[in-house]
Structure 1
Amino acid sequence: MRRLLGSILCQVQPHRKLSSVAGPMQNLIDNIQEQLQDKRYLIVIDDLWEEMAWDILRGAFPEGNSCSRIVSTTENMNVARRCCGYIPNHIFKMKPLGIQDSGTLFFSRIFGSEQQCPDELKEVSYGIIRKCGGHPLALINLAGLLASQLNYSELWYHVHDRLCSILNRNHTVEEIQKQILNLCYSSLPDCLKTCLLYFNMYPEGYIMWKDHLVKQWIAEGFVNAAEGKDREKIAEGYFDELVNRGMIQSMKINCNDEASSFTVHHIILDLITHNSKQDGFIGAIDCSQTITGLSTKAHRLSIQSSSAKYAKQPARISMLQLRSLGFFGLLKCMPSIVEFKNLRVLILDCWGNHDGHMSLNLSRICILFQLKYLKISSDIMVELPAKMQGLHYLEILEIDARISAVPLDIVRLPSLLHLGLQDATKLPHGIGRIKSLNSLWYFDLRCNSEANIRSLGKLTNLCHLHLTCSAALSSDHLKRKLIPLVSSLRKFGNLKSLTLTPDGLRAAIFFDISSDISFPSIFLQRLELLPPICLFSTLPTGIGELHKLRIFKIVVKELQGNDIRNIARLPSLVVFSLYVRKALTGTVIFTTMSFPALKYFKFTCGVMCLAFQPGAMPNLQRLKLCFNAHRGENHSLVLNGIEHLLNLQEVAGRIGVLPGSDESNMRVLKLSFEDTIKKHPRRPRFNLQLVDFIEEEYPPFDKLHWTQQQEGSSGQHEIIEKDCAEDMNKQGNCRLSRAFDLPPDSRSSYHLKSDEDSKHHMPVSMLRDESAEPSALDLSHSVQDDMTRPAWDTVMSFAPTDIFCQDLSCYSDKEMFVTEDIFTFNGTGTYCSLTMSDDDTSSTTTEAKTISPDDRFKPKIKSWIRGAHLGHGSFGWVYEGISDEGYFFAVKELSSLDQGSDVQQCILALEQEIELLSQFEHKNIVQYYGTDKEESKLYIFVELITQGSLLSLYQKHRLRESQVSAYTRQILNGLVYLHEQNVVHGDIKCANILLHADGSAKLADFGLANELSKFLPVRSCKGRVYWMAPEVINANRKYGPSADIWSLGCTVLEMLTRQIPFPNVEWTRALYMIGRGEQPPIPNYLSKGAQDFICQCVRAAPETRPSASQLLAHPFVDRRYTGEARNP
């Protein structure tokens, strides 16, 4: 059940990995509810097996008025009744397929359609179809058997006669399916039988990846390759044959129409389990059941757990002959691995966080000197041995978990072929020594040194390389990393796959790579260079020489005349994703026989116009377009000649529009685009999404010219599209494209002319570093950047960093700009004025904005509009707000159904308190801006912080102690400031520590704990209990700043353990324990410095706790401080 809930959460929150959703089942349910709250959803649950499972699942799906639907299938009528609330009309009884539908399924699997079936086989085919009784699984497997030998017509009659002899009218549905599956299994070649039986190593419903199984089969010795043949190619052929025969079900289909993940139908798995047990091929143990009938002769063992509640470690297993072990379950049930000294294949998929385990200790794994394959997936830290050189035969090492440290001598493993580690993993120096290495992922540019990047060039046998960048780097730092990388790439003569994905990288730091970069490997089949790291000026000319290239994804600054023509003749290109940042000035024409093999084409550009000549892209099946909608444009011209794409099956459009756009214009836009698609004779599937969350980037300064417009914008436009799941290799992260245009009817015009105007270009480092002072900035000369920033960046450079980074998602025409013409920076320290110019004459604006001592705006919000919904907290809803002057801020809405005088008094008290708190400013606190009220609702205006909280950070990444220390220091800085103002925060916890885009931590919701507790119901405040100090719980005792110190200790403990204080304790029980002065449990695995820091903070007596300023000198936080803490 936990795995099912985790799978659901991964689908509704795609950026999560399955290994990151571990923990108590209630946490998974809460997270799913949070993701689906107030959303319309359609969820299909296939093959529910018991009523209790539905009771658990139902609690994960929030109810509401969004017309959501849940469809479930089951073979159990009692489960069906439970699912539909015992309403008979809500149950649909599925009947077996009729002859016509059975024939359609059968013939489509073998020939494509019944019309292509030879006449001499039609009669015997229908005889076989009738024997299947309309059961899809039987039809699919028999079709797979017959399709494997199309030229052997005698097989059809043999199968028909065999079915007639083993089936009769008295057989039940289950017996028919079993007999047919046995027939299909017995017809498999011996090599495929062995590979199929190996699926018994995995639990029912487990999602398996093709490349993992292929490597496991090779390590097991199932693949015997003749001299000169590739074992992986042979193993992949085995896998594909099992898929074609219907023995394996594909789960995830990529844009190349190839399946990458698979599972096995439970009926086929029952057959596999039976035959595996009968042959003694694999022994299987369920930790939650009594072990019976375990074969002591089996060389392979799978340890699984069907119930976490009853799971326990199996008794001592004496199987010295064991060669392969697969473990899938809770860490507490895992036996001692080192006892199986002859292991060659070891698969560990363990969950430890649920039981309080924080690490998986594999320090003695070097004893298994015969090990060839090691794969680990876990939600906890993996501790490897200090030295691994004893594993001389290790060929494959894949670890999908955080690693405490990578052994230094891993570079000396003589047989290592495949090395796969999570991103943000630092590899030892000298990675180039692993001469045998065939594939490497993920190599993190942030974590690894320039010398190690240069060392990659020594891996001359490398065929597959996946690079990542797990966190933002400065432009100079990134450039220093990419220069040796480009040098190394020139040395990869055997490279088949090169992927660069900016995992975790959010800042748009572009590096303009020369378009004439060479790609030395003529074997290159996959090339993915995704933003924001890689930006080419134009399409590299060398791409046209990569005749084996099948998948190509790239972003370029602009398209030039011959760019498309240079790659249009690539004979093997199947997937092509092109993102052009600069608007097209003409039509891109795809000529006859261009892109002959292309099946998937994605094109992204702010303004586009494509034309397809007859015979262009003859095999294209899926077309995806992302562009902006501009007033006055004829969108029917976007796709000229679409009717010439003869095999087109699906068209998807992502069109950026302004929020608040006229609905009639949107209908015209959709109808215009639909009419264009309808020109196609095959009427392909059509999916159009109007994107209303938008961003803005304008052209470079020296070319920018906004003029008064009557019919749309004539400037350059850009769509900012965050990589969709199909453009990323790792598990789905499908985000909508974003686009923006200046409102067409805006009367403002914006001119930045020549070099004189470009003096006001402010460096990116100034925008990202709050310590930089504008008064010290020399504006006397033009500051050039590789990628000149958009004009909006210039305007926003006068705003604080947090405003600069915000999403421009909620502007309407009236709110976009309230001033006119030129913006010029005249202020130096105490204020900023915006100068406007008409016809080269200047005058000062009528309003000046106050800037705080740390150069941050202090907007006074008089009128505002509500923007996008940002989240929900114990106090109520949080929205994005935009003032009439264009400032972004967050709006916290507190509401109460009670209209009484007490509530009104609480609202008044909160208003007065916030008016006082809004005067406080510090880089480590979230600024209050003011309040507004409406009857029983109070709106609190605060600084908008977009990078989430420490809670969301540690849920995604395990924080290193150095990072916790850095964040703690910033929290203490904020507390020192507040305590000096005689303000007690009152609610310190990770959820209330927000992260700025520059990495700094900010205290939110300070000073309001008392007033909020009066205003909100008790159930809304119970989440504070776990961090409360004893004196806060004891109402008869007064409390002061020392209460924040207790909460700080609990927060540090929370960051280090990724759990709340007093885990697994009900809040009422925790209330009692804290009131008695009990400290939260502090694990022994924490460093002594961390333990001492927490212990000092959570002393029972408030007067014995150190102050915030004293704690700044504690060794745990008094380290060398870099000024920012980055994500791991």
Structure 2
Amino acid sequence: MADSPVSFLLDRLTWLLTEEVNLQRGVREDVQYVKDELERHKAILMVADSLEDKDPELKVWVKRVRDIAHDMEDAIDEYNLRLVNHRQGNNNSSFYKILFAIKTMKGRRRIALNIQGIKSKVEVISQRRPIIPDVASSSSQRPVSTRLDSQGDALLLEEADLVGIEEPKKQLTDLLFKDESNRAVISIYGMGGLGKTTLAKQVYDDLKIKKRFRIHAWVNLSQSFKMEELLKDLVQQLYSVIGKPVPEAVGMMKIEKVKELIKNLLQQSRYLIVLDDVWNVNVWDAVKHALPNNNRGSRVMLTTRKKDIALYSCAELGKDFHLQFLPEQEAWSLFCRKTFQGSNYSCPPHLEEVCRKILKLCGGLPLAIVAISGALATRERSNIEEWQIVCRSFGSEIKGNDKLEDMKKVLSLSFNELPYYLKSCLLYLSLFPEFHAIEHMRLIRLWVSEGFVNGEDGKTVEEVADSYLKELLNRSLLQVVEKTSDGRMKTCRMHDLLREIVNLKSRDQNFATIAKDKFMVWPERVRRLSIVSSSYKVLQQNRTTFQLKSLLMFALSHSLNHFSIHELSTFGLKLLRVLDLQDAPLEDFPAEIINLYLLKYLSLKNTKVKSIPGSIKKLQNLETLDLKHTYVTELPTEIAELKRLRHLLVYRYEIESYAHFHAKHGFKVAAPIGNMESLQKLCFIEVDQGSRALMVELGKLTQLRRLGIRKMRKEDGAALCLSIEKMIHLRSLSITAIKEDEIIDIHDISKPPQCLQQVYLSGCLEKFPQWIKSCNNLVKVFLKWSRLKEDPLVYLQGLPNLRHLEFLQVYVGETLHFNAEGFPSLKVLGLDDLKGLKSMIIEKGAMQGLKKLIIQRCGSFKHVPLGIEHLTKLKTIEFFDMPDELVKALLPNGGKDYWRVQNVPTVYSTYWREGGWDVYSLETFGERETDSNHSSAKRTLELPTLWKV
């Protein structure tokens, strides 16, 4: 990490030296001197991460270099800030150049003084430059980093990818299925990194477990958890799984009342609750009385690093489960699987000896094995010397038998192996609270705004940032938390122990500061600040120097009496690039934001802000404006003056029903939006006013990757088609008509964007848009209210990459026919409200990869789909409000068509009853007619959530 600030600074110094504005006499020479000296120091900085902990003198020197880099960066930002009000556009006349020079004289004099001071500091550190033997050879031996794009998305491990988990999983499963009516606690304990959470998650996600424990919840804990948050999270999960809305009163309940509510919810059910990563016995004491011993065979699984917590929690009735280190053979198997992925998991013979030495240092710790394997995976296999260097340098750091320290060293080595741009990206995650799942696109936009992403030919910076994220995933430095239905990562997080290492480095490098409570120890300087909960008041209680580049806020309480950016503005916000106020209790746009001229990223997501002032045009550097789920419905005309804006996100949901046509609200704008030529994401613009001219304006946005349109009229279709043809980079297209029976006329697209991956059309279609069948990169197609008379499958089933298909009132015909070999990649199929549909025919070979089938509100559909037995990969079938004849034919006891679905692990049938859904598995469906209280039913508020796009 020592070289990261310098590397970023050198890029900016190059820009400054090529800046056309005349600097003060001698300043250019001073800047060049600073640049040259820092270039000289980079060789030391590149190896300093692994050496400075052993060399106090080196550590002090590195800190001084880093501080100088930060000072210089601030000087450049001050330069930009002082000139921002005096720039004259592209006017290059001599008169304006002279006028500009006069107006900026004071600013240029100031930067001259700053740089002279920085030059003096550089001269001092250059004289005291430490001598590191063979620094040149050490730096040259650093492996050249190559991205792992070819490996694709690094997703959550499947069970087949895990090593040594079969036996412990079987043991845990047996304990859960043990014929014991009392509630039992199973405590999994062991040191961090052994895979306790991984094991528990594999058991928890097992379909047999889900089937046995219909009521289940997974609660993530941390050292700094709050009991109130834990219990309310549990309440939300339980209400979600039983299908009821969470009572509004829960938010106001005291802890004891919440416990009583949880107990009542669980009293009549066999349940499974997982408490992951428990750090204190008080947690179990506080929770156990809310988990009733209801004599139904309920279970609680608990993971912890501490043996005393495990023994204490299962003392009354239960079993402690000590997770062991991997045996040598299984450790070797895991090591080879992760290190030699392109070689059939086989270690080359000439590397086996050194690899077994490296593996021994990992001590059977799975996370350590995965980490070191990630560092080795990209090394040249023909050069055994590189592998021996890793073994020697890593082995010399290992002292004693402290396995946690062993793993820290491994993770530090893995971190040090990263190129500088990935180090900064990973360190940036320390700004997020430990309980926070980080949104994929939010993280990418933040990285870009911070300047962490290097440009590459043929790629946008967002695409480069995405490759950074994939590389961190492939190196096992990040984990996927949630995926979209088409297999893409939605949220991610760091493993707890890796996070501990990263946080230590972040604090040591003064990279980022998290303000949690008044007892925290503040660093000398704060450059990136994360404020958790209502702790922004602690800023007033310290004497730290603030030169903030980023300010993020999390979990700000809506019960605060006031919230003022003005109070924060006294703490050095003028150089701010990132301001993320997501979830803050704001009702008005903070006026102070307008003066943050260097701001690149502004998020007011999930606030109550209603309007944006025209003065926002002053934020000429703004690249991201996130107003999702605010009350903003119209943007000022001045928004078009933000020429650098890349992501404009303005919409909110008001869902009364999953099939409500006007469930989503966008924004109106009267500005010439075509001037915003940098836009990549535009969602969701309402085009019912001035629509023809607006459609033409959209054609100027040739960089768009995502376009969302609402309230479209039929007569504007031709103009929109011409504009779409110009959007050659478009990935996602969403169009909603102005009303349900309004025709979406988008048939005349002769050259559809070949990168198109997602299409969402809501409105009437006179005929199926023929161009869609030529979009071979499509992975998602959602159609609503199309009311087609022709079978749409004819045009869709040849798409090679389509993974998710949803229909709502799309087809008025009686039969859907899935031809053999059709839909080769489809994973999810949803059919809703096809009133005329009477039958489905699935030929052998169709939809061979289908995992989930949803059919709902098709009242005429009374017969089991013919050929459904051919779908051998099917995991779940869900019927919502479907005729009894259909469901009864699939009952395990006497259903004439049960044989067709007998190998499908989960089949549900759901009915709308008394304002909610009653959910039955086929095993309990027969009880519905005899049980007037529907005791076997589950309720769900809004099951078909797939329509939220």
Task: Quickly name the TM-score band, shorter chain normalised.
Answer: 0.5 to 0.7
CA contact (8 A) 2:259 2:289 kept: no
* From 766, 769, 776, the counterpart of 1:540: 769
Report the Cα offset of residue 543 of structure 1.
Answer: 0.7
* From 592, 598, 616, the counterpart of 1:388: 616
Q: Distance in 1 between matches of 2:258 and 2:439?
A: 29
Change (3 A) 1:550 1:197: same
Report the Cα offset of residue 362 of structure 1.
Answer: 1.0
Change (3 A) 1:521 1:602: same
Report the Cα offset of residue 300 of structure 1.
Answer: 2.4
Q: Distance in 1 between matches of 2:323 and 2:441?
A: 36
Report the Cα offset of residue 566 of structure 1.
Answer: 3.4
Report the Cα offset of residue 391 of structure 1.
Answer: 0.9
SS across alignment from 1:256: coil
Report the Cα offset of residue 534 of structure 1.
Answer: 3.0
Report the Cα offset of residue 497 of structure 1.
Answer: 3.6
Q: Tell me what 2:910 maps to.
A: 691
Change (3 A) 1:333 1:484: same
Indicate whether 1:95 and 2:324 are aligned.
yes
Report the Cα offset of residue 350 of structure 1.
Answer: 6.3
Indicate whether 1:626 and 2:867 are aligned.
no
Q: Tell me what 2:495 maps to.
A: 265
Change (3 A) 1:399 1:513: closer
CA contact (8 A) 2:788 2:810 kept: no
Q: Distance in 2 between matches of 1:441 and 1:16?
A: 35
Q: Tell me what 1:831 maps to.
A: none
SS across alignment from 1:693: strand
Report the Cα offset of residue 626 of structure 1.
Answer: 2.7
Q: Distance in 2 between matches of 1:294 and 1:223?
A: 27
Indicate whether 1:281 and 2:511 are aligned.
yes
SS across alignment from 1:191: helix
* From 440, 443, 450, the counterpart of 2:689: 450
* From 536, 541, 550, the counterpart of 1:315: 541
Q: Tell me what 2:650 maps to.
A: 421
Q: Tell me what 1:375 maps to.
A: 603
Report the Cα offset of residue 629 of structure 1.
Answer: 10
Change (3 A) 1:414 1:561: closer
Indicate whether 1:186 and 2:413 are aligned.
no
Residue 602 of structure 2 aligns to which amino acid in structure 1?
Answer: L
Q: Tell me what 2:892 maps to.
A: 667
Residue 327 of structure 1 aligns to which amino acid in structure 2?
Answer: M
Q: Distance in 1 between matches of 2:716 and 2:254?
A: 48
Residue 242 of structure 1 aligns to which amino acid in structure 2?
Answer: L
Change (3 A) 1:281 1:525: same
Report the Cα offset of residue 182 of structure 1.
Answer: 1.2
CA contact (8 A) 1:338 1:368 kept: no
Residue 626 of structure 2 aligns to which amino acid in structure 1?
Answer: E
Q: Tell me what 1:438 maps to.
A: 679
Residue 404 of structure 2 aligns to which amino acid in structure 1?
Answer: E
Indicate whether 1:551 and 2:770 are aligned.
no
Deviations 1:340-399 (A, max 9, x none): 34334334346666xxxx636511211111111112345554775562121111111113
* From 718, 723, 745, the counterpart of 1:491: 723
Residue 276 of structure 1 aligns to which amino acid in structure 2?
Answer: S
Q: Tell me what 2:577 maps to.
A: 345
Report the Cα offset of residue 209 of structure 1.
Answer: 1.2
* From 579, 587, 596, the counterpart of 1:359: 587
Indicate whether 1:237 and 2:481 are aligned.
no
Q: What is the number of residues matched between the two proteins?
A: 681
Q: Tell me what 1:327 maps to.
A: 553
SS across alignment from 2:758: strand
Q: Tell me what 2:704 maps to.
A: 463
CA contact (8 A) 1:253 1:260 kept: yes
Residue 519 of structure 2 aligns to which amino acid in structure 1?
Answer: T
Q: Distance in 2 between matches of 1:11 and 1:486?
A: 47
SS across alignment from 2:591: coil
Change (3 A) 1:113 1:420: same
SS across alignment from 2:472: helix
Q: Distance in 2 between matches of 1:190 and 1:486?
A: 49
Identity of aligned residues (%): 19
SS across alignment from 2:446: helix
Larger RCO of the pair (alpha carbons < 8 Å, separation 6+): 2
Report the Cα offset of residue 17 of structure 1.
Answer: 13
* From 743, 746, 756, the counterpart of 1:525: 756
Q: Distance in 2 between matches of 1:281 and 1:628?
A: 54
Q: Distance in 1 between matches of 2:879 and 2:781?
A: 21
Q: Tell me what 1:225 maps to.
A: 455
Report the Cα offset of residue 582 of structure 1.
Answer: 5.0
CA contact (8 A) 2:651 2:667 kept: no
CA contact (8 A) 2:446 2:578 kept: no
Q: Distance in 2 between matches of 1:810 and 1:61?
A: 30
* From 460, 475, 478, the counterpart of 1:248: 478
Q: Tell me what 1:117 maps to.
A: 346
Residue 912 of structure 2 aligns to which amino acid in structure 1?
Answer: F
Report the Cα offset of residue 127 of structure 1.
Answer: 5.0
Q: Which has the higher helix share?
A: 2
Q: Distance in 2 between matches of 1:391 and 1:632?
A: 56
Deviations 1:455-501 (A, max 9, x none): 255133262446487xxxxxxxx6x7565477535423216244549
Equivalent residues in 2 for 1:434-833, closer than 5 Å? 434-436=675-677, 438-440=679-681, 442-443=683-684, 445=686, 449-451=688-690, 455=694, 457-459=696-698, 460-461=700-701, 463-465=704-706, 467=708, 484=716, 487-488=719-720, 490-492=722-724, 493-494=726-727, 496-498=730-732, 500=734, 509=740, 511=742, 513=744, 516=747, 518=749, 521-529=752-760, 533-536=762-765, 539-555=768-784, 563-578=792-807, 588-592=817-821, 594-595=822-823, 598=826, 600-602=828-830, 607-613=838-844, 620=849, 622-626=851-855, 635=864, 637-639=866-868, 641-642=870-871, 648=873, 650=875, 652-654=877-879, 657-658=882-883, 666-668=891-893, 672-673=897-898, 675=900, 678=903, 686-693=905-912
Report the Cα offset of residue 53 of structure 1.
Answer: 4.4
Q: Tell me what 1:820 maps to.
A: none
CA contact (8 A) 1:22 1:379 kept: no
Q: Unaligned regions of 5+ residues in structure 1, if any? A: 470-477, 679-684, 697-721, 723-734, 740-808, 815-863, 872-878, 881-945, 948-1128
Report the Cα offset of residue 405 of structure 1.
Answer: 7.5
Change (3 A) 1:407 1:26: farther
Q: Distance in 1 between matches of 2:714 and 2:292?
A: 47
Q: Distance in 1 between matches of 2:896 and 2:387?
A: 51
Q: Distance in 2 between matches of 1:442 and 1:738?
A: 38
CA contact (8 A) 1:287 1:314 kept: no
Report the Cα offset of residue 196 of structure 1.
Answer: 1.0
SS across alignment from 1:688: strand
Equivalent residues in 2 for 1:7-22, closer than 5 Å? 8=234, 11=237
Deviations 1:578-625 (A, max 9, x none): 557558755724344x445555555666544343455x667x363435
CA contact (8 A) 1:287 1:333 kept: no
Q: Distance in 2 between matches of 1:663 and 1:611?
A: 20
Report the Cα offset of residue 107 of structure 1.
Answer: 4.5
Q: Distance in 2 between matches of 1:59 and 1:167?
A: 44
Deviations 1:791-847 (A, max 9, x none): xxxxxxxxxxxxxxxxxx999999xxxxxxxxxxxxxxxxxxxxxxxxxxxxxxxxx
CA contact (8 A) 2:889 2:898 kept: no
Residue 397 of structure 1 aligns to which amino acid in structure 2?
Answer: L
SS across alignment from 1:609: strand
Residue 667 of structure 1 aligns to which amino acid in structure 2?
Answer: P
Deviations 1:882-940 (A, max 9, x none): xxxxxxxxxxxxxxxxxxxxxxxxxxxxxxxxxxxxxxxxxxxxxxxxxxxxxxxxxxx
CA contact (8 A) 1:381 1:402 kept: yes
CA contact (8 A) 1:46 1:74 kept: yes
Q: Distance in 1 between matches of 2:579 and 2:398?
A: 41
Report the Cα offset of residue 295 of structure 1.
Answer: 3.1
